[in-house]
Amino acid sequence: QVQLQESGPGLMKPSETLSLTCTVSGGSISSYYWSWIRQPPGKGLEWIGYIYYSGSTSYNPSLKSRVTVSLDPSKNQLSLRLRSVTAADTAVYYCARGRDSGWFDFDYWGQGTLVTVSS
Amino acid sequence: DIQMTQSPSSLSASVGDRVTITCRASQSINNFLNWYQQKPGKAPKLLIYAASSLQSGVPSRFSGSGSGTDFTLTISSLQPEDFATYYCQQSYSTPPLTFGGGTKVEIK
């Protein structure tokens, strides 16, 4: 059974850099797109970006200037870096597996980690 | 960006009711449309992919239809565990992948 587990700081200050890690267990990272998706409290879902197992990336244009997604196959981990955070970046952050099936659906998700940005 | 609009934003229904949720894309997305269910405090769960294909393990009372710009998610007989928020997601044009605003299904 594939499992994803996010980890990172719960509380941050404005202008800091958010770093999150997602550890994948029970399956290979090959042949999948690995995404980060966030959800502000009480609001909808926003796709942040993905990295394909080959290393190619794609980012939401609204966040592209501040985001880096990376993959460490040796550890079965993906990472998110979001620079210069503000209160608007307060959200639950999910990592999710995107299938390389043509329809880019997310079939496995982590449980999510809440990141609060506050001075 | 392709905008995804769901309607209604919320609805009240009773156990056993047939429920239909609509998702409209701002341009044609063929059948590149997925549906998710999210319960409070939990991650979304994939229900339907490619507009009408049932994800493995999802009960058959869930079905999806549509193509182009208009899509529907139908729950044929609402069960107590189906009270949740439902999201559509397009994967036709990326970046960015985009989600609808969600439809909350509540108990009448």
Reply yes or no on whether the pLDDT at A101 is more than 90.
no
Calculate how close chain A gets to B52, using CA atoms only, in Å.
11
What contacts 24+ positions apart, CB below 8 Å, involve A81-86?
A: A81/A17, A81/A18, A81/A19, A82/A17, A82/A18, A82/A48, A83/A17, A83/A18, A84/A15, A84/A17, A85/A12, A85/A14, A85/A15, A85/A16, A85/A17, A85/A18, A85/A117, A86/A14, A86/A15, A86/A117
Give the per-residue pLDDT at A103. 83
Average pLDDT value for residue range B61-69: 98
> Given an 8 Å threshold on Cβ–Cβ distance, is A49 in contact with B95?
yes
Calculate how close chain A gets to B15, using CA atoms only, in Å.
25
Give the per-residue pLDDT at B6. 98
Q: Is A10 exposed, middle or buried (0-12, 13-18, 19+ CB in 10 A)?
A: exposed
What pLDDT digit, counting tens, does each position of B29-56 carry? 999 999 999 999 999 999 999 999 999 9
Task: Select from A62, A64, A107 the Cβ nearest to the Cβ of B46.
Answer: A107
> Given an 8 Å threshold on Cβ–Cβ distance, is B100 in contact with A58?
no
Q: Is A114 on the interface with B (CB under 8 A)?
A: no
> Given an 8 Å threshold on Cβ–Cβ distance, is B32 in contact with A44?
no
Q: Is B101 on the interface with A (CB under 8 A)?
A: yes
Average pLDDT value for residue range B67-82: 97
Average pLDDT value for residue range A24-50: 95
Q: Is B86 on the interface with A (CB under 8 A)?
A: no
> What is the DSSP secondary-structure string of chain B?
---EEEE-SEEEE-TT--EEEEEEESS--TT-EEEEEE-TTS--EEEEETTTEEPTT--TTEEEEEETTEEEEEESS--GGG-SEEEEEE-SS-SSPEE---EEEEE-
